[in-house]
């Protein structure tokens, strides 16, 4: 956890609008002043209290004494040669670091954010899993990553692009967030959902629920809790194998939550929510890319509201597998579509040269 001097101060990015209003009430400040502060945080994207000149002086004084604006300093920024991807190594208050990625696609910008420092799930082909687990991120540290990307985009805007509709056309407004960075989001459930609530606030970052996707390795209790709470965000489940033995070899967490238990939870989720699940399949040459494997996926997902995201393996130093060749990948997808009427997408590979692709995020020990 962060050091004590940070813990004693609350992170403004970690409060919902209602919580911020309640804090002002505790300070005997009218909650109406929370609206001005909230606008500074999420509309004007102020990076310090000095950039909030219109705050009530009494409020500014209390904030300086008891709060922190949890802006995450950039330790390193790396741009991909693909021209669409940038990765940020961000510093936390306790000197830990995380990675966040900005990705551009036609008509949209996506932030890939982290939920933990490292990851405890240990997926063998994932750089974060190879790194190991250090700690959970706080809600404020998760939200701060989204604000960081939004602020980057704001600085790139041409003059006069002040309206949200104009920013959408120019591609300078953040519209999509994927919780697919470092860490397992459902292992840090409460903090992640608190952060999501802040992202969804229509008077702040104003992200739409259908534009937030959470990816899990298959934490069954978290999937069932998502269903019970009727969370409206998209759910993606990292599958990667269609039998328990094969999956456990790639995803050690499958030993705790076996494949049959995971699929039962996914059925329950879809039955309760009426939502489809995105199943992610990393295509590894000679491991899980054969025609038989494609048919096994089709059988496993038969009757479920599902969409399969096919992701050619991205290289990491700790795993010697190779990505599937395009012919085999296309045949895999063809079988899913023609024999099982199972929709699928071949995921675009972005930022591979800067280790910003799926499964590549990690912080190397200094």
Residues annotated as catalytic (active site), given as ranges: 99, 358
Helix axes 259-273, 220-228, angle to 10 degrees: 10
Neighbours of 255 (CB within 10 A): 10
> Phi-psi category of 303—alpha, beta or left, where left has phi over 0 and alpha has psi -120 to 50?
left
Q: Using CA atoms, how far apart are residues 136 and 192, in angstroms rounded to an integer?
A: 10
Contacts of 17 (CB under 8 A, 6+ apart): 34, 38, 201, 203, 204
The DSSP code for 284 is: B
The vertex-44 CA angle with 42 and 50, nearest 5°, equals 105
Q: Using CA atoms, how far apart are residues 89 and 72, in angstroms rounded to an integer?
A: 9
Which of 153, 150, 157, 83 has its CA nearest to residue 113?
150
Q: Using CA atoms, how far apart are residues 73 and 93, in angstroms rounded to an integer?
A: 9
């Amino acid at each position: 956890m962060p050091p004590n001097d940070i813990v004693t101060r609350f992170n403004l990015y970690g409060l919902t609008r209602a919580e911020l209003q309640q804090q002002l009430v505790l300070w005997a400040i009218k909650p109406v002043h929370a609206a001005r502060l909230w606008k500074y945080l999420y509309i004007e994207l102020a990076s310090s209290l000095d950039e909030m000149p219109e705050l009530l002086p009494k409020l500014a004084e209390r904030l300086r004494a008891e709060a922190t604006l949890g802006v995450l300093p950039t330790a390193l920024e790396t741009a991909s040669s693909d021209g669409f991807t940038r990765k940020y190594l961000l510093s936390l208050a306790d000197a830990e670091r995380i990675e966040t990625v900005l990705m551009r696609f036609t008509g949209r910008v996506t932030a890939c954010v982290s939920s933990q420092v490292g990851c405890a799930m240990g997926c063998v082909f994932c750089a974060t899993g190879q790194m190991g687990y250090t700690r959970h991120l706080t809600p404020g540290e998760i939200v701060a990553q989204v604000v960081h990307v939004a602020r980057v985009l704001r600085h790139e805007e041409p003059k006069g692009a002040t309206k949200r509709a104009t920013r959408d056309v120019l591609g300078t407004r953040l519209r999509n967030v994927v919780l697919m960075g470092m860490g397992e989001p459902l292992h840090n459930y409460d903090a992640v959902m608190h952060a999501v609530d802040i992202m969804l606030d229509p008077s702040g970052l104003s992200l739409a629920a259908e534009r937030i996707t959470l990816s899990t390795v298959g934490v069954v209790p978290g999937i069932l809790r998502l269903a019970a709470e009727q969370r409206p965000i998209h759910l993606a489940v990292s599958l990667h194998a269609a039998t328990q033995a094969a999956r456990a070899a790639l995803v050690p967490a499958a030993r705790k939550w076996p494949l049959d238990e995971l699929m039962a939870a996914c059925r329950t989720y879809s039955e309760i929510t009426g939502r489809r699940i995105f199943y992610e399949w990393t295509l590894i040459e000679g491991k899980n890319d054969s025609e038989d494997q494609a048919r096994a996926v089709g059988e496993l997902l038969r009757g479920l509201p599902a969409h399969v995201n096919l992701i050619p393996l991205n290289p990491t130093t700790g795993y010697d597998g190779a990505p599937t060749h395009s012919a085999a990948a296309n045949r895999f997808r063809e079988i899913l579509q023609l024999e099982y009427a199972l929709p699928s997408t071949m995921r675009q590979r972005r930022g591979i040269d800067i280790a910003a692709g799926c499964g590549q995020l990690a912080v190397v020990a200094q």
